[in-house]
Amino acid sequence: MTNVRENIYEPFTEQSVLVYLEQKGLITDRREVTCQEVGDGNLNYVFIVKDLQTDKSLVVKQALPYAKVVGESWPLSLDRARIERQALQEAAKRVPELVPQVFDYDDDYAVTVMEDLSDHVILRKGLLDGNIYPNIAADIGTYLAENLFHASDEALGPVEKKKLARQFVNPDLCDITEKLVFTDPYYNAESNSYPDNLQESVESLWHDDRLIFEVAKLKKQFLTEGETLLHGDLHTGSVFVTETSTKVIDPEFAFYGPAGFDIGAFIANLTLNYIAQQERADDSRRHEISAYLLETIEQTWAVFEERYRTLLLEKGFDDRQRTEQYADYVIHKIWQDTLGFAGCKTIRRIIGLAHVEDIDGIENAAGRLQAQQRAIETGRSLIFNRSVWRSPKSLTAYLKGLEK
């Protein structure tokens, strides 16, 4: 599947990207546009190109041959640009309103040209600003159900599913997740990053053999269970929002894995935000924001579950699998995995490489330490209780117990 021609590829600059767009006929005159590199993620360049006459704009996203956050010592395949683009195109077949539109692409340059979403904000930032987005649970629950179902064996049947899975073999990006989510936080790895005053909590986790065993099992699931096409990195930084619109971006980690991984990632990031808000939100707003986040966790799952069940019962490929009993079985497995992966995703953002602003940006040092310790404990509880907590109510009741 790798068809990037490495000898053609070169990283663009704000100038050279315009020459490229002009040659491709995507802009008419490079003197009539502005271009700004705005990528603040860990891996790619993102150029926003705006036509000064019409005010129309587009985004050019280009993969770099290494992890920007680490440097050239961590090389990464450029093929992830193709994978991201094809994952966006798959999602657009199901939920076009929930993903950015792809206008053009060029695998040789590892480039995707797509809709500019500058009128949206990143959900993580919006939540940190204390905003409430009423559609998030319905939109993300729908995104998850539609995409996770339609790429599965239950929707496609085994032959078509395997053909699709072939397109999404993503070793380099899976390797990042295998290391940063399932391995490094559980020993004294060089890549880890946490403050000195967290050492005791971190070491208690390294010595928790029961936890290490549960994470090893979850890692095996991540490595081996190719259930469906995942987004692969569905944190709140991968969602753009306005009051009325939701767009899921950045599926460069897409691969065939366990369905609960995406839902777990989203719930983990809402959980981290909830824990952070106990230290960040004004007294006057904390209760409202907390209630909203808990409701969003519950509703995201509820919307996912209902839609997934309906899809399976109405569109399931195999008659024998179109039963309530089978739907219960599949959904229960996804739920347990969701909790386990949410636990791993919560812990990695405190101990491993690549943190979240929600927690790291807490100004008060004592409050920050409290949030970090709570996140580790919450992660542990999610992992241990994944076969005990039967519904999101159990998780939200646990989180409610942390409310100030």
> Which residues make up each annotated binding site for substrate?
233, 348
* Contact set for ligand SR1, span 177-216 (CB under 6 A): 177, 180
User: Does the footprint of ligand SR1 cover residue 69 (CB under 6 A)?
Assistant: yes
Residue 171's SS3 state is helix
* Contact set for Mg ion, span 38-97 (CB under 5 A): 41
- In this structure, the strands spanning 111-115 and 239-241 are unpaired
User: Does the footprint of ligand SR1 cover residue 358 (CB under 6 A)?
Assistant: no
How many angstroms separate the CA atoms of 161 and 152, rounded? Answer: 6
Cβ proximity of 285 and 128 under 8 Å: no
Tokens representing residue 11 in the block = 């990283």
The stretch near ligand SR1 (CB under 6 A) out of 25-33, 66-74, 82-90, 113-121 is 66-74
Question: Could you identify the residue written with the tokens 């209760």?
Answer: 287
CB atoms within 10 A of CB 130: 15
How many angstroms separate the CA atoms of 218 and 200, rounded? Answer: 24
Residues 6+ apart with CB under 8 A from 291: none
Q: Which of 253, 205, 234 is nearest to 351 (CA)?
A: 205
Q: Where are the beta strands (DSSP E) in 246-295?
A: 246-248, 255-257
Tokens representing residue 171 in the block = 């070793």
Q: What is the DSSP letter of 170?
A: -
Give the shortest CB-154-to-ligand SR1 separation in angstroms.
28
Give the shortest CB-299-to-Mg ion separation in angstroms.
24
Q: Which is nearer to ligand SR1, 176 or 215 (CB)?
A: 176
User: Does the footprint of Mg ion cover residue 250 (CB under 5 A)?
Assistant: yes
**Annotation: binding site:** 44, 61, 115-117, 233, 250-252, 348
User: Residue type for 14, please?
Assistant: E
User: Does the footprint of Mg ion cover residue 279 (CB under 5 A)?
Assistant: no
Q: Which is nearer to ligand SR1, 42 or 242 (CB)?
A: 42
Question: Could you identify the residue written with the tokens 């899976």?
Answer: 174
User: Does the footprint of ligand SR1 cover residue 67 (CB under 6 A)?
Assistant: yes
Q: Which does 354 bind (CB under 5 to 8 A by kind): ligand SR1, Mg ion, none?
A: ligand SR1
Q: Which of 91, 254, 82 is nearest to 165 (CA)?
A: 254
Residues near ligand SR1 (CB under 6 A), total: 10
Element of type H or E holding 59? strand 57-63
Give the shortest CB-300-to-ligand SR1 separation in angstroms.
19
Residues 6+ apart with CB under 8 A from 143: 91, 95, 98, 246, 248
Q: Which is nearer to ligand SR1, 258 or 316 (CB)?
A: 258
User: Does the footprint of ligand SR1 cover residue 354 (CB under 6 A)?
Assistant: yes
Give the shortest CB-108-to-ligand SR1 separation in angstroms.
24
Q: Which does 153 bind (CB under 5 to 8 A by kind): ligand SR1, Mg ion, none?
A: none
Give the shortest CB-225-to-ligand SR1 separation in angstroms.
19
Residues 6+ apart with CB under 8 A from 159: none
**Annotation: binding site for ATP:** 44, 61, 115-117, 250-252
Residues near Mg ion (CB under 5 A), total: 2
The stretch near Mg ion (CB under 5 A) out of 35-43, 69-77, 153-161, 311-319 is 35-43
User: Does the footprint of ligand SR1 cover residue 42 (CB under 6 A)?
Assistant: yes
User: Does the footprint of ligand SR1 cover residue 262 (CB under 6 A)?
Assistant: no
Cβ proximity of 276 and 362 under 8 Å: yes
Q: Which of 60, 148, 176, 382 binds ligand SR1 (CB under 6 A)?
A: 176
Q: Which is nearer to ligand SR1, 43 or 239 (CB)?
A: 43
Residues that bind Mg ion (CB under 5 A): 41, 250
Residues that bind ligand SR1 (CB under 6 A): 42-43, 67, 69-70, 176-177, 180, 233, 354
